[in-house]
């Protein structure tokens, strides 16, 4: 029911603004203990009373010795440890400085320019070799070799820097990926690649013999070549690693961004923050480990498939013999008799040989694949294949043999035109096609082109030795002009080792169309593997993140936030509730967008999902953490924040140490007491809890709005703290600290004044005025009323109790003084008394609202202090008779009220807030002060000055006037008159303007 009063105590809306930088301390820093000073303390000292409200005569110096400031670390003695203090809560740890070379290495590796540079080199490493084959010739290979060397140097340099600069990198999964992918770059150096290709085409005699005896060797070499090409795809992992680390850095930057609070109530139009936005701080160990393991499994799976499939596939070459091999045997069989017969060879044998050779050359027509429309008008020629003959010759062990056999094998007298015409007239399933005139002339030339290589002396002719318009633009006189993978060497094998070692026919085929097409497919395959790797990894990690990692990281975020600032749990609960409301509103709106939702479900493959609406266990656990944190914040309050934060910081142990050393704080201490509480308890009995909670809702609401912190409630009294952040040595600008203290002092006075007004305007609390039991015991004019006292000083914030039960509170003689100040309100018959310590902090404009009424030595204080009252006549307050709001106080509406109060509180945090203007702008406070006139204040001030100076007869006359001038008895005037009357209005000889308020006088009821 007390929620109904929220709008009366809210006050005027002020523009929100930020607190000063000096005040912007994290709550977690309040409880930190600095190792700057170590003091040996024996807490169990005998005959030294504790400092609490029950013992106002406590010795202040002992507490000052024990708690010499917030930067003091208590070093426990034996008696301290015996009383339950653990050494873990009192040790200060210093972090080792990171070596400069590690810091420099990490900066270089994580530098954005270096990352971009390595990313470009990685992309080149993936596609560079295929681009080289696709668009360049062998003469440009040296340039690409130097680029590969640069890539090798940069990647090696990156690995070395990562070893020094990144933690847990050496021998990690990504270390081996970097090592393998960098080593695979050696395969892109053409010298190394040529040596590997030599496995399938031996250049020496022993190799040739091996090929002839075991034809499977070349096929095994071809398989090895394909595996080498697949190994190049390992570099995708390096590119994926760069993507993985960039994603991690982006996630970290996104985590570090703070989401600003939203005050709008139009929840239907807001968006729920996704899992990525909910993250803050560093990535959790669970998420990091799970993501790494998932990525490793996916990479190993795809890599095993890439490496295993080429080896386990059957070779298509094993299906049948190639025409190139068969034709080479046929040409060899016809050339061998000519070489053996030499000059004695007949014309028919040469014609048979020449026709066989022409048949072989035209069957593998190079020009037909180059321009089918010009050289294959009948279609069905060699353009259907990728390998075409371009070089024919003799390879021998010596130059003389090579030149001799080449002279015999040359086509010198053959009529190529006539032979070509005889076959072009016949159309079949497969046709020979035609040669350009220059190529026909090249066929009839002597085989005298020197193409020696390795141990072989080679003589022959090349169809690409001369430029032919629109046909041959890149001259290839010898096979070595082309890359090793761009040529196919074919030689007859139906001969003995000795015959092959002396001389043999050699046919070289141009594989450039095949290698270019293979390069295109390799580029597409690289892209496909990259998309597959990233896609599958993201799918796995997405599910793991959605179901496990993100909920766990959200819970870790909640726990860390509560650990750093336990009081944030309430706001966390409000944010979570708001997100739930947004989701509910979105579901309602989704009913109107069924078509859009159906398309989205089909696109995400969730249209067949049959998941239940029950929340997952991780969600339940997360909400439980928020509720537990909220209950901790409500139960412990600001005084217990250090206890919660201290115990939650030690994440490696489940032990609880609630008895941590206290912390000295400077604060403004307020006490509010319910008048006639014992009578109300006897009358209301079981309803007394409701009665107290209705009052507490107003008191706590206003105090929170005015930046205070309710601490403990003993039933009839409330202890309230306005904490001044930091000590004087923690502020760079002492003037700013004084300004902050002045603002908090003014807010404390305003808060108590507003509480009094809201209390007497409350329709709900006004119903107790007509309660028969209260009227019988207290009279017809009874009403719910509070009295207030304010005092400023230091206090020890911490846990009070034992290992079995603790209360988070404040212990100090100043707490006792504040309680005595409040008790003095009965003597002076006022509602609000403010001690001199608070008035001295207030702004002069607010000091003018306070009336100096006495100078006393109060219980718990050795020094005299002035007492000021804020004149507030609550009898002028009119009960609110507005019609009920007709609001159901459900969770949603309570949330909105809390949001409104938060906005009001934010307005009070303005650095340049005019507290006096806030005081004057409240209409209820103006009504309560309307009775007090300037004439009254002037007359009372003169009377008090005469009383202070010992002129009691003059003071008697003036104070007698002020006692009745208002139409009702003025309490301070009556109190001073009673004191003077006890001395027959004659000031004692030792009178210094100060009197002592003994405990008996404070406990005595007001005679009026």
Flag the least confident range among 264-268, 845-849, 999-1003.
Answer: 264-268
Relative to beta strand 786-801, strand 832-835 is parallel
Question: H or E element: which one contains 717?
Answer: strand 717-724
- Give the pLDDT score at 320: 59
Strand partners for 719: 671
- Taking residues 774-799, what's their average pLDDT? 90
Which stretch, 242-256, 646-660, 773-787, has highest mean pLDDT? Answer: 773-787
**Does residue 113 have a pLDDT over 70?**
yes
Q: Are 132 and 141 in contact (CB under 8 A)?
A: yes
Q: Are 646 and 657 in contact (CB under 8 A)?
A: yes
Strand partners for 810: 797
Q: Are 831 and 874 in contact (CB under 8 A)?
A: yes
Q: How far apart are CA 4 and CA 903, in angstroms?
A: 18
Beta strands in 729-880 (DSSP E): 786-801, 806-811, 832-835, 850-857, 865-870
Q: Are 642 and 564 in contact (CB under 8 A)?
A: no
> What φ, ψ does residue 783 adopt, rounded to 5°?
-160, 160
- Taking residues 312-339, what's their average pLDDT? 79
**What percent of the chain shows pLDDT beyond 90?**
27
Q: Are 427 and 378 in contact (CB under 8 A)?
A: yes
Q: Are 680 and 661 in contact (CB under 8 A)?
A: no
Flag the least confident range among 129-138, 533-542, 605-614, 735-744.
Answer: 605-614
Neighbouring C-beta atoms of residue 12, cutoff 10 Å: 11
Between the CA of residue 52 and those of 63, 72, 736, 812, what are the distances in Å? 11, 21, 31, 6
- Taking residues 602-630, what's their average pLDDT? 69
- Give the pLDDT score at 228: 52
Q: How far apart are CA 423 and CA 429, in angstroms?
A: 13
Strand partners for 870: 850
For residue 37, what pLDDT band results from cuts at 50, 70 and 90? very low
Beta strands in 728-785 (DSSP E): none
Q: How far apart are CA 874 and CA 199, in angstroms?
A: 106
- Taking residues 278-284, what's their average pLDDT? 51
Helix (H, G, I), strand (E, B) or coil at 134: helix
Which stretch, 30-34, 647-651, 780-784, has highest mean pLDDT? Answer: 780-784
| 844 CB-contact burial (10 Å; exposed 0-12 / middle 13-18 / buried 19+) | exposed
- Give the pLDDT score at 655: 65
Relative to beta strand 388-396, strand 457-462 is antiparallel
Q: How far apart are CA 482 and CA 476, in angstroms?
A: 7
831 Cβ partners below 8 Å, 6+ apart? 756, 785, 786, 787, 788, 825, 870, 872, 874
Q: How far apart are CA 586 and CA 604, in angstroms?
A: 19
- Give the pLDDT score at 534: 74
**Does residue 209 have a pLDDT over 70?**
no
Q: How far apart are CA 865 and CA 846, in angstroms?
A: 19
Which stretch, 54-58, 384-388, 646-650, has highest mean pLDDT? Answer: 384-388
- What is the total residue count of the chain? 1008
CA-based max dimension of the chain: 167
Flag the least confident range among 541-545, 744-748, 938-942.
Answer: 541-545
**Does residue 7 have a pLDDT over 50?**
no
Q: Are 799 and 640 in contact (CB under 8 A)?
A: yes
Flag the least confident range among 39-43, 153-157, 523-527.
Answer: 39-43
Strand partners for 798: 809
Q: How far apart are CA 234 and CA 313, in angstroms?
A: 20
For residue 180, what pLDDT band results from cuts at 50, 70 and 90? confident
More confident residue, 703 or 627: 703
DSSP string, 250-273: HHHHHHHSPPPP-----GGG----
With CA atoms as reference, report the closest residue to 788 among 752, 744, 758, 837. Answer: 752
Which region, left, alpha or beta, applies to residue 270 given φ > 0 means left and ψ of -120 to 50 means alpha? beta
Residue 65 CA, chain-centre distance (Å), reads 44
Q: Using only C-alpha atoms, what is the Rg of the chain?
A: 49
Residue 550 CA, chain-centre distance (Å), reads 11
Q: Per residue in 878-906, pLDDT tens?
A: 998 877 767 777 777 777 777 777 788 78
Mean model confidence pLDDT for the chain = 76
Between the CA of residue 665 and those of 35, 634, 751, 979, what are the distances in Å? 18, 21, 21, 37
Strand order in the sheet with 487-490: 449-450, 457-462, 388-396, 503-510, 487-490
**CA pseudo-torsion sign 135, 141, 146, 150:** positive
Q: Per residue in 855-871, pLDDT tens?
A: 999 877 788 999 999 99
Helix (H, G, I), strand (E, B) or coil at 166: coil
SS (H, E, C) 847-888: HCCEEEEEEEECCCCCCCEEEEEECCCHHHCCCCCCCCCCCC
Q: How far apart are CA 299 and CA 178, in angstroms?
A: 13
Q: Per residue in 299-320, pLDDT tens?
A: 777 777 776 766 676 656 555 5
- Confidence (pTM): 0.55
Strand partners for 722: 668
Flag the least confident range among 611-625, 735-749, 791-805.
Answer: 611-625
Q: How far apart are CA 529 and CA 541, in angstroms?
A: 18
Q: Where are the alpha helices (DSSP H) in 371-511?
A: 372-375, 399-409, 416-424, 437-443, 497-502
Q: Per residue in 268-278, pLDDT tens?
A: 444 444 444 44
End-to-end CA distance of the chain: 34
Q: How far apart are CA 742 and CA 846, in angstroms?
A: 10
Between CA 673 and CA 679, with CA 678 as vertex, the angle to 5 degrees is 115
Q: How far apart are CA 148 and CA 126, in angstroms?
A: 11
Q: How far apart are CA 68 and CA 743, in angstroms?
A: 26
247 Cβ partners below 8 Å, 6+ apart? none
Neighbouring C-beta atoms of residue 613, cutoff 10 Å: 4
With CA atoms as reference, report the closest residue to 897 among 1, 199, 6. Answer: 6
- Give the pLDDT score at 226: 52
Q: How far apart are CA 47 and CA 61, in angstroms?
A: 14
- Give the pLDDT score at 125: 83
Between the CA of residue 536 and those of 172, 530, 605, what are the distances in Å? 22, 10, 15
Flag the least confident range among 378-382, 667-671, 945-949.
Answer: 378-382
Flag the least confident range among 222-236, 507-521, 945-959.
Answer: 222-236
- Taking residues 31-55, what's their average pLDDT? 36
Neighbouring C-beta atoms of residue 598, cutoff 10 Å: 11
With CA atoms as reference, report the closest residue to 557 among 570, 547, 572, 546. Answer: 572
Flag the least confident range among 319-328, 677-686, 975-984.
Answer: 319-328
Q: How far apart are CA 648 and CA 656, in angstroms?
A: 9
Between the CA of residue 776 and those of 120, 673, 768, what are the distances in Å? 91, 22, 12
Q: Are 792 and 835 in contact (CB under 8 A)?
A: yes
**Does residue 13 have a pLDDT over 70?**
no
SS (H, E, C) 510-535: ECHHHHHHHHHHHHHHHHHHHHHHHH
Q: How far apart are CA 531 and CA 337, in angstroms?
A: 60
């Amino acid at each position: 029911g007390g929620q109904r009063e929220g709008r009366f105590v809210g006050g005027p809306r002020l523009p929100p603004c930020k607190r000063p930088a000096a005040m912007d301390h994290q709550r977690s820093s309040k409880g930190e203990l600095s190792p700057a000073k170590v003091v040996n303390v024996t807490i169990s000292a005998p005959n030294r009373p504790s400092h609490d409200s029950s013992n106002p005569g406590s010795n202040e110096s002992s507490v000052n010795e024990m708690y010499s400031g917030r930067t003091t670390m208590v070093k426990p003695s034996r008696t301290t440890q015996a009383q339950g203090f653990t050494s873990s809560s009192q040790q200060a740890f210093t972090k080792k400085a990171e070596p400069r070379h590690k810091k420099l290495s990490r900066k270089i590796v994580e530098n954005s320019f270096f990352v971009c540079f390595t990313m470009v080199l990685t992309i080149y490493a993936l596609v560079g070799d295929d681009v080289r084959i696709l668009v360049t010739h062998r003469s440009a290979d040296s340039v690409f070799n130097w680029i590969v060397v640069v890539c090798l140097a940069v990647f090696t340099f990156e690995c070395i820097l990562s070893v020094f600069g990144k933690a847990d990198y050496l021998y990690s999964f990504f270390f081996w990926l970097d090592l393998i992918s960098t080593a695979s770059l050696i395969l892109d150096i053409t010298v190394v690649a040529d040596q590997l290709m030599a496995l399938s085409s031996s250049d020496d005699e022993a190799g040739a013999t091996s090929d002839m005896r075991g034809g499977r060797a070349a096929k095994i070499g071809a398989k090895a070549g394909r595996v080498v090409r697949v190994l190049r795809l390992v570099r995708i992992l390096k590119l994926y690693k760069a993507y993985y680390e960039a994603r991690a850095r982006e996630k970290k930057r996104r985590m570090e961004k703070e989401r600003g609070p939203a005050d709008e109530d139009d929840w239907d139009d807001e968006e729920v923050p996704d899992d990525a936005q909910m993250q803050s701080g560093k990535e959790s160990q669970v998420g990091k480990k799970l993501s790494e393991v998932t990525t490793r499994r996916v990479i190993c799976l795809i890599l095993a498939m890439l490496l295993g499939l080429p080896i386990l596939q059957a070779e298509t070459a094993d299906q049948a013999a190639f025409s190139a091999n068969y034709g080479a045997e046929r040409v060899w069989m016809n050339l061998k008799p000519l070489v053996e017969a030499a000059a004695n060879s007949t014309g028919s044998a040469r014609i048979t040989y020449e026709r066989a050779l022409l048949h072989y050359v035209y069957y593998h027509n190079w020009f037909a694949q180059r321009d089918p429309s010009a050289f294959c008008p009948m279609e069905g020629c060699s353009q259907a294949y990728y390998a075409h003959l371009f070089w024919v010759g003799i390879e021998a062990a010596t130059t003389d043999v090579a030149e001799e056999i080449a002279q015999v094998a040359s086509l010198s007298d053959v009529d190529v035109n006539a032979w070509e015409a005889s076959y072009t007239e016949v159309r079949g399933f497969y046709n020979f096609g035609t040669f350009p005139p220059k190529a026909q002339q090249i066929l009839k030339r002597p085989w005298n082109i020197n193409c020696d290589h390795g141990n072989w002396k080679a003589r022959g002719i090349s169809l690409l030795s001369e430029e032919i318009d629109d046909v041959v633009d890149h001259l290839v006189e010898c096979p070595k002009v082309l890359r090793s993978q761009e040529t196919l060497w074919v030689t007859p094998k139906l001969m003995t080792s000795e015959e092959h070692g002396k001389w043999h026919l050699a046919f070289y085929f141009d594989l450039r169309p095949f290698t270019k097409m293979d390069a295109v497919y390799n580029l597409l395959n690289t892209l496909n593997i990259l998309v597959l790797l990233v896609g599958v990894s993201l799918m796995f990690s997405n599910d793991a993140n959605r179901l496990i990692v993100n909920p766990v990281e959200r819970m870790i975020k909640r726990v860390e936030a509560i650990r750093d600032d336990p009081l944030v749990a309430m706001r966390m609960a409000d944010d979570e509730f708001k997100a739930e409301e947004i989701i509910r509103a979105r579901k309602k709106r989704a009913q109107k967008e069924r078509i859009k939702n159906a398309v989205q479900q089909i696109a995400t493959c969730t249209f067949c999902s049959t998941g239940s609406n029950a929340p997952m266990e991780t969600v339940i656990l997360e909400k439980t953490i928020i509720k537990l944190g909220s209950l901790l914040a409500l139960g412990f309050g600001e005084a217990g924040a250090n206890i919660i934060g201290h115990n939650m910081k030690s994440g490696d142990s489940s032990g609880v140490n609630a008895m941590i050393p206290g912390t000295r704080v400077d604060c403004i201490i307020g006490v509010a007491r319910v008048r006639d509480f014992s009578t109300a308890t006897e009358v209301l009995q079981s309803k007394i809890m409701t009665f107290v909670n209705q009052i507490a809702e107003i008191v706590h609401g206003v105090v929170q709005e005015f930046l205070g912190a309710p601490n403990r409630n003993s039933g009839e009294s409330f202890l309230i703290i306005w904490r001044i952040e930091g000590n004087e040595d923690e502020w760079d600008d002492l003037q700013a600290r004084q300004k902050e203290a002045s603002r908090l002092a003014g807010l404390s006075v305003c808060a108590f004044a507003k509480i009094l007004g809201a209390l007497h305007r409350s329709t709900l609390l006004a119903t107790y005025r007509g309660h028969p039991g209260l009227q019988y015991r207290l009279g017809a004019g009874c009403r719910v009323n509070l009295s207030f006292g304010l005092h400023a000083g230091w206090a020890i914030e911490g846990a009070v109790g034992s290992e079995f039960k603790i209360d988070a509170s404040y212990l100090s003689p100043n707490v006792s003084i504040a309680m005595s100040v409040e008790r003095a309100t009965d003597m002076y018959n006022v509602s609000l008394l403010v001690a001199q310590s608070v008035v001295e902090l207030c702004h002069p404009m607010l000091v003018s609202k306070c009336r100096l009424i006495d100078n006393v030595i109060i219980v718990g204080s050795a020094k005299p202090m002035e007492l000021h009252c804020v004149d507030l006549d609550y009898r002028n307050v009119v009960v609110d008779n507005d019609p009920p709001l007709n609001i159901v106080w459900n969770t949603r509406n309570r949330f909105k009220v809390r949001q409104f109060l938060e906005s009001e509180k934010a307005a009070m945090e303005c650095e340049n807030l005019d507290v006096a203007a806030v005081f004057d702008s409240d209409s209820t406070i103006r009504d309560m002060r309307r009775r007090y006139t300037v004439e009254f204040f002037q007359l009372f001030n003169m009377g008090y000055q005469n009383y202070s100076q010992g002129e009691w007869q003059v003071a008697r006359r003036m104070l007698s006037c002020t006692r009745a001038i208002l139409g009702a008895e003025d309490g301070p005037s009556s109190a001073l008159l009673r004191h003077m009357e006890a001395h027959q209005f004659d000031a004692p000889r030792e009178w210094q303007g100060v009197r002592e308020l003994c405990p008996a006088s404070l406990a005595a009821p007001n005679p009026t």
